[in-house]
Structure 1
Amino acid sequence: MRGYTTDKGGYLTRLRRIEGQIRGLQRMVEGDEYCIDILTQISAATKALQAVSLGLMDEHLKHCVTEAIATGGDADAKVREASEAIARLVRS
């Protein structure tokens, strides 16, 4: 079981909402909307994706890393995965 499994429905709902935002952006470009309005919506979609990312990172730390520590698994590998994921998120 993955750490996010208990809130999978919530994550899917958020991702579907983001998908709708992206479709809205496509319609805005197709409709030649004002640049600043499009950029505002891109910012909102970006923040929504960041919120999902932070939630998944929190779940990884709470579940996967904690489980590795409790079961004698490779906790260092799980922490390294988290660190690498954080680095990718910061760069994006």
Structure 2
Amino acid sequence: MNEESMKPVLNRLKRAQGQLASVIAMVENGRECEDVVTQLSAVSKALDRAGFKIVASGMRQCLTDGSENPPLTQDKLEKLFLTLA
């Protein structure tokens, strides 16, 4: 991934990190199950979005990258998407 496409991914991951810290604090403080699960769902969605962004960037690079890195095959890209499903 190039630096430009990495920035939004890092932002999403940092946001998820903050949300996860909040979930941990909620559990430690005995917050209601519904509140904890709601926040945990938000963390999960943030991580999924970061993962999809990484895979999408990989697809874009695969199509446009002329570097020495071997391109990802369609099967490999499909497998990456399925790991996030």
Normalised by the shorter chain, which TM-score bucket? 0.7 to 0.9
Query: What amino acid does structure 1 have at the position aligned with 2:82?
Result: A
Fraction of identical pairs, as percent: 23
Asked if 1:42 corresponds to 2:37, the answer is no
Let me know the Cα RMSD of the aligned residues.
2.1
The structure-2 alpha-carbon separation of the partners of 1:11 and 1:51, relative to structure 1 and needing over 3 Å to count, comes to same
Q: Greater helix percent: which structure? A: 1
Greater than 6 Å deviation, 4+ residue runs: none
2:78 aligns with 83
Q: Deviations over 1:17-76 (max 9, x none)?
A: 11010100010000000000000001111111111111112111111x2036x68x865x
Number of residues of Structure 1 aligned to a counterpart in Structure 2: 84
Please list, as runs of the form range in 1=range in 2, the aligned pairs for 1:3-82 lying within 5 A after superposition: 4-63=2-61, 65-67=62-64, 75=71, 77-82=72-77
Q: Under a length normalisation based on structure 2, what TM-score does the superposition of the two structures give?
A: 0.82
TM superposition score normalised by structure 1: 0.77
Runs (5+) with no aligned partner, structure 2? none
